[in-house]
């Protein structure tokens, strides 16, 4: 069976891994680059969906930086919601039989009342990006409940791995190591925000496997996470083990977030029960592969 998968955000960090994974599964992948499809243009999105005739739609495109969303809240909130609305409306009108995945975020839970966080926890977003994703999450549920579309929402917690940019903690740590090695420095100084901040990391390659698996589940929301929290300090230690130079850790006040949540750890039992998905790649490998990616990139 030739399954046609339409992907928004296919050029992004997770999107590139998703396109590669779908291709390996034998899907016919349609992933128009941003320069060819303006997702804020509702008519253009309708035309693209209609022409693609997808069986599956993966909506990953978003303004995704928490830090930059504080600087430009309108650029995060308004476009993220409008792009999601355009994709859902295009599916409703032109591909109503398609199964849809809206890639949400564990950020929408905010400061958790209890750990681990499961899907029934209250949505309490703590930054403009998270607020935008919470709104998209609710909109996706409305299209499922109100229009009868098969819409699955995946709330991915921190995902990391090769190809991640420096707006994210492992991306910036990996780049700092690769840059210091390329310059021939005597040591690498890793600068971070709050070292005691704890997050739930999953390898991006496991995350995209979760995305494809989730489409087989009944409509609803599903956490994508490891269920284990790791502190920034512990992450620095793992990076140090993979580095070819001695590592020194410094706290950069400019990287400390005023609204930082001390610990986030998710529960993914709902997704595991529905699909048998489970993370396979250990964090030590994720860290090593992320550094290797930056080494290759900086080498040209």
pLDDT in tens, 122-171: 999 989 999 999 999 999 999 999 999 999 999 999 999 999 998 899 99
Rounded Cα distance between 152 and 102, Å, is 6
Right CATH for 169-196+230-261+288-298 from 3.90.1150.10, 3.90.25.10, 3.40.109.10, 3.50.50.60:
3.90.25.10
Q: How much is the pTM? A: 0.95
pLDDT tens profile 218-234: 999 999 999 999 999 99
Q: Tell me, what DSSP letter sits at residue 119?
A: T
Within 10 angstroms of residue 4's Cβ, the number of other Cβ atoms is 16
Over residues 268-279, the mean pLDDT reads: 98
**And the tokens for 119?**
């899907």
pLDDT of residue 258 exceeding 80 = no
**SS3 state of residue 112:** coil
Q: How confident is the model at residue 252 (pLDDT cuts 50, 70, 90)?
A: confident
Right CATH for 4-160+201-227+264-280 from 3.55.30.10, 3.40.50.720, 1.10.40.50, 3.40.50.1970:
3.40.50.720
Q: Is the CA virtual torsion 17, 74, 72, 266 positive or negative?
A: negative
For position 32, what pLDDT does the model report?
96
Angle made by CA atoms 252, 134, 276, in degrees to the nearest 5 = 95
pLDDT of residue 260 exceeding 80 = no
Q: How confident is the model at residue 193 (pLDDT cuts 50, 70, 90)?
A: confident
Residue with the two structure tokens 């190591």:
177
Rounded Cα distance between 149 and 151, Å, is 6
Within 10 angstroms of residue 62's Cβ, the number of other Cβ atoms is 24
pLDDT of residue 254 exceeding 90 = no
* H or E stretch covering 295: helix 283-298
Q: How confident is the model at residue 255 (pLDDT cuts 50, 70, 90)?
A: confident
pLDDT tens profile 46-80: 999 999 999 999 999 999 888 788 899 998 899 99
Report domain extents, the chain.
4-160+201-227+264-280, 169-196+230-261+288-298
In the predicted model, what is the mean pLDDT of the chain? Answer: 95
């Amino acid at each position: 069976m030739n399954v046609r998968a339409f992907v928004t955000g296919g050029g992004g960090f997770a999107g590139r891994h998703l396109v590669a994974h779908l291709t390996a599964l034998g899907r016919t992948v349609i992933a128009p680059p941003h320069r060819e499809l303006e997702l804020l243009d509702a008519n253009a999105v309708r035309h693209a969906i209609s022409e693609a005739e997808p069986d599956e739609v993966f909506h990953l495109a978003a303004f995704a930086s928490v830090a930059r969303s504080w600087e430009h809240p309108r650029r995060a909130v308004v476009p993220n919601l409008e792009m999601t609305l355009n994709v859902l409306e295009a599916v409703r009108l032109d591909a109503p039989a398609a199964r849809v995945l809206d890639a949400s975020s564990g950020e929408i839970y905010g400061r958790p009342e209890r750990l681990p966080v499961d899907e029934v926890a209250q949505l309490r977003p703590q930054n403009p990006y998270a607020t935008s994703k919470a709104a998209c999450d609710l909109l996706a549920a409305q299209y499922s409940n109100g229009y009868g579309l098969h819409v699955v929402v995946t709330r991915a917690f921190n995902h990391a791995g090769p190809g991640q940019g420096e707006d994210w903690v492992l991306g910036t740590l990996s780049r700092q190591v690769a840059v210091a090695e390329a310059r021939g420095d005597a040591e690498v100084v890793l600068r971070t925000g709050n070292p005691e901040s704890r997050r739930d990391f999953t390898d991006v390659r496991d995350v995209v496997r979760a995305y494809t698996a989730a489409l087989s589940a009944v409509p609803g929301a599903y956490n994508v996470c490891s269920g284990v929290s790791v502190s920034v300090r512990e992450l620095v230690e793992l990076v140090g083990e993979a580095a070819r130079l001695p590592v020194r850790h410094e706290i950069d006040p400019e990287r400390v977030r005023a609204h930082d949540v001390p610990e986030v750890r998710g529960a993914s039992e709902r997704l595991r029960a529905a699909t048998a998905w489970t993370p396979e790649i250990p964090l030590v490998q994720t860290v090593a592969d992320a550094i290797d990616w930056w080494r290759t990139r900086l080498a040209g």
